[in-house]
Structure 1
């Protein structure tokens, strides 16, 4: 093992025009996401730019929880423009006479190197984790002969493409499940037998915004629910930030009860969740509205309607004049119209139907996501086995090479 990685200088180009900047957000597990790049005007010699990119440069995210260590491979931009990496992305440029660039990409994706990444962390004054680039430059790298490196890379190109294709298929299947679920929910709320009503007539109290300016405390305090927490309220219950009791008391009207429906109303519109029993007594952020259904109104039906195209259409219309960030007003929200069952028995029938739609969609989505996780684990296991010499690439070819590899 030796170091064959370096961060070389840029080539001699002039008058390159607008340059694409690749950030951590651009460097996605599925590859470089060009829709997330930004343009910077530039003319002259790009050697003055530290992060100017050559084809076959390998990129590694060097900061951030959840993104640190993510590896990408640069072959050029789709429109032929020059590109650079921003300060949060480290460029790994292989020494051509020692290290095949594709092999280095796979090595950086392997389990041993990823473990090395997390042994090379430093914590700054703001608790921002980042890659220690001095230690990264000394990273041990396996150096089989170049022709063997290329055989390994060729093998992995073939096998990883198959795995990535399956992951993309599972992702698309998950999207189709969500589209079907949305379509079925739209239909469920559009019965001709339903009667038009306003949302406020289904609520025990008016919709309310949460805490305008939160102050966070450690230890004793009131759990605080923000927009992203609505993605998994039960799962995040024990890890929520806390605000002082006195501050929560100032916003007593949004202290949560089990069965309250919480809705994102700033920026991301339409993300909804029902407050579980374990979050009784919490409070919510300014970007989250608290809806308290009347006792005879099932919270599940309110939460389901908030995901329909009918709600989204009215939310978009109510915020279309916002020039900065979409913000849904509480008076507008209270007066939204929806079709509602005309009797208690019809309400029970709709609730039964909606539960069936949700459970079926969740079951399929969870199954596809579990398969995607297994494929991702197998992907790394295969990469690790190949770059660490556990596969004999002199005889291995195609699918047979991966048969003995377990995640």
Structure 2
């Protein structure tokens, strides 16, 4: 059955104007709908709408909101379900509201719209203009939706409510595990680079972000360890294809025929964070959006890489009215420097730790991906009738079904 025959009404929303009094009406946008079709109402926009627009776009429980314009395959057609919390709000002009006829269950239709079966149809039906993919009301209406009885639609929706809640609970636990691994990693980097993990007796540093150090380490300004220099601009038009990596804030971003920095080297983004310190094996070109180590002062380059990973960039950025980190401020930052005789041992230990944490993150990410795939396969199999939901609870119902 075509979706248009299941609808009582469908219309697009309104965006209105900026409210003069700062209040306005809450208006839901595509950004409030996540990839699973859940609505996140923490940051809704407030807009000034006319009384007619408010009346026309007021949402009621059971309405579906479809993203009808996006530059991404993943976001085009994602569909949110209006529950008690979002009822009464309005919706923007980039969304299409679907209101189901009484003969069809809106939760079943919501699961259908977020199934692989529907998304495959959406990809075929969508049109493209100026880099955006678009879905008109007419195209949405052409989607082929399974049409079991109303009672069966309710059973399928109830089953999916329960099963997806279990999967979402597991996903939340994995997310928390990922956070704990990140917290442990963040805590271990300053300890490790200060040599505190190589000894049984630790010395307090007096530094809030690097509390302990090796007894043989000393507190010095970062400039004593290394000297940072701003990179040099190199536009796409200026680049000549060659073997030299061009390193920007995100890492490798292209190639050039000439290097201005000797490798192996270390590059950080000027808007620094621990996740944006890059090791470069060969001679390279550091972009002007970065800072690079111009002089290692005779210290181990790999040790300096890990030291820069440990710096409290967020603390330094808070001190400045200008976004980003100032190399002169970083040069003055006090750090615990281990003697050169220990630096290679520290670097090797840090490399080992980095691999361990990377493996942990990869494992958690893979488990999260498997849960996502299982969730999608379960929804698609249920709405397309590949198994009987009344006898499926507690079994691995996605065995032998297709997403």
What band does the TM-score fall into relative to the shorter chain? Answer: 0.7 to 0.9
1:16-35 residue CA offsets vs partner (Å, 9 max, x unmatched) = x6322333332223632333
In structure 2, the partner of 1:206 is 228
Distance in 1, matches of 2:134 and 2:267, equals 35
Deviation at 1:96, TM superposition (A): 2.7
Higher fraction of strand: 2
From 60, 67, 75, the counterpart of 1:54: 60
From 102, 105, 108, the counterpart of 2:107: 102
The verdict on how the C-alpha distance between 1:370 and 1:216 changes in structure 2, with shifts beyond 3 A counting, is farther
SS at match of 1:7: strand
TM-score by length of 2: 0.78
In structure 1, the partner of 2:198 is none
From 142, 147, 150, the counterpart of 2:151: 147
Choose 1 or 2 for highest CA Rg. 2
Residue-pair matches, total: 367
In structure 2, the partner of 1:34 is 41
Which blocks of at least 5 consecutive residues in structure 1 are unaligned? 11-16, 234-239
Distance in 2, matches of 1:257 and 1:123, equals 46
From 14, 20, 26, the counterpart of 1:20: 26
Deviation at 1:339, TM superposition (A): 1.1
Q: Map 1:8-407 onto structure 2 (within 5 A).
A: 8=11, 18-29=24-35, 31-42=38-49, 44-47=51-54, 52-61=58-67, 62-65=69-72, 66-77=74-85, 82-88=88-94, 90-125=95-130, 127-188=131-192, 189=194, 190-193=212-215, 194-203=217-226, 206-211=228-233, 214=235, 220=241, 225-227=247-249, 229-230=250-251, 233=252, 240=253, 255=260, 258-266=263-271, 269-277=273-281, 281-286=284-289, 288-292=290-294, 294=296, 296-308=298-310, 310-317=312-319, 319=320, 321-322=321-322, 326-341=323-338, 343-393=339-389, 395-400=390-395, 402=397, 404=399
Deviation at 1:112, TM superposition (A): 1.5
Which fold has the larger relative contact order, with Cα–Cα distance below 8 Å and residues 6 or more apart in sequence?
A: 1
1:267-298 residue CA offsets vs partner (Å, 9 max, x unmatched) = x6444232444x85454253x32234528434
Deviation at 1:41, TM superposition (A): 4.3
The verdict on how the C-alpha distance between 1:148 and 1:219 changes in structure 2, with shifts beyond 3 A counting, is farther
Distance in 2, matches of 1:256 and 1:76, equals 59
The verdict on how the C-alpha distance between 1:93 and 1:121 changes in structure 2, with shifts beyond 3 A counting, is closer
In structure 1, the partner of 2:10 is 7
Task: Compare 158-167 and 21-30 and name the one that shifted more.
Answer: 21-30
TM-score by length of 1: 0.77
Deviation at 1:260, TM superposition (A): 2.7
